[in-house]
Amino acid sequence: KIFQLHFLGLFIIQSAMDWNFIFGVCVSVILIQFMVQMSVGCLREEKEALLEFKASINETQNRHLLLPSWDDEDDPENDCCNWEGVKCSNSTKRIIELSLSYLRINIFENSDAEFREWFLDATTFFPLKELRFLDLSSNYFRGEVKGCSQLYRLENLEVLDLGANSFDYSILPCFSAISTLKNLSLRGNRMDGLFPNQGCRQLSRFENLEVLDLGLNSFNNSILPCLSAISTLKQLSLLGNSLNGSLPIQEITRLRNLEALDISINNFQGPLSFKELATLGNMVTLDLGYNGFNNVSSIEVMASLNALSLGNNQLSYSSISEAVRGCTPALGQ
């Protein structure tokens, strides 16, 4: 019996040593894989996705001038996390930000290239699972976006800048399904005239959008009821459009969380009542300049306001003086 117990004890000790050995090997393998990944840099699949995006752009003769740091060399030093406009997570090495604005500049500064039409292939971004920030502004992309209906696959995207391109209303369905989107810029595109009913439905789907820039298009008043459905908005810019008539108080005051509003450079006219706007208790910045307002009520009722622009309207000095009388020192402009 003593021999049997001794043998059993040795068996248990050996088994424990074996499990410790196996556990140690597993931990070592995981650490080695992690260290290899960290030493290699960005993930191969994400590097290939960036190269596919570059290849999708309609440039042949001057392709070498487009994102010159983006190449497919297998040199370990060729880490796409160090490429122009790319930012990776320090921990996962996955791409989290892409700043790809003004891609044409290098081409036109270094060649006599003619202006070529560019079309956006959004499918090239789908492998970027942790992408949070995407800036494609000032590239003059136009037409339909490839993969538009599947942009919901960018499930971590929070900031999307498509300003200064040549998109029309057909792009609206592309990003309304991105539930994580907080900041969207469509400034300076080709959206004009009557806002489509379908576009209205698309805007109502935004669940987390806080910043929306629609400036420098040619929207008319038909867009205003659609915007009032985005209750999460904190900042809204409609400067430089074709809005007219009296100030749309009803639509604006539905945006209860609004902190900054810019409706300058439009064709609004008539009197301006701050008493009706006072329900926007979070409003901090308000730009009403370059319109046709001809009378203004007391600004004092908007206690949260600290920046106001009324320049280049049809307001007399006396009416402005009367309006700002009694304002708190917080109002800086």
Q: How confident is the model at residue 77 (pLDDT cuts 50, 70, 90)?
A: confident
Burial class (CB in 10 A: 0-12, 13-18, 19+), 250: exposed
Residue 41 falls in which region: left (phi positive, over 0), alpha (psi -120 to 50) or beta: left
Is 60 exceeded by the pLDDT of residue 10? Answer: no
Residues 12-28 have pLDDT tens digits of: 556 555 556 555 545 45
Q: Is the dihedral of CA 219, 222, 224, 227 positive or negative?
A: negative
Residues 156-186 have pLDDT tens digits of: 999 999 999 999 999 998 988 899 999 999 9
Is 90 exceeded by the pLDDT of residue 76? Answer: no
Domains of the chain: 43-324 (3.80.10.10)
Is 60 exceeded by the pLDDT of residue 256? Answer: yes
pTM of the model: 0.86
Q: Alpha carbon of 31 to those of 18, 28, 50: distances in Å?
A: 20, 5, 28
User: Contact at 8 Å (CB) between 263 and 238?
Assistant: yes
Q: Which helix (H) or strand (E) holds 27?
A: helix 2-40
Cβ neighbours for 236, distance < 8 A, ≥ 6 positions apart: 212, 214, 227, 255, 258, 260, 261, 262
- Residue % of the chain over a pLDDT of 90: 68
Round the average pLDDT of the chain to a whole number and report it.
88
The separation between CA 98 and the C-alpha centre of its own chain, rounded to angstroms, equals: 11
Q: How confident is the model at residue 243 (pLDDT cuts 50, 70, 90)?
A: very high
Give the mean pLDDT of 236-262.
96
Give the mean pLDDT of 246-255.
94
Give the mean pLDDT of 250-260.
96
Residues 122-141 have pLDDT tens digits of: 999 999 999 999 999 999 99
The separation between CA 54 and the C-alpha centre of its own chain, rounded to angstroms, equals: 21
Give the mean pLDDT of 235-256.
96
Q: How confident is the model at residue 32 (pLDDT cuts 50, 70, 90)?
A: very low
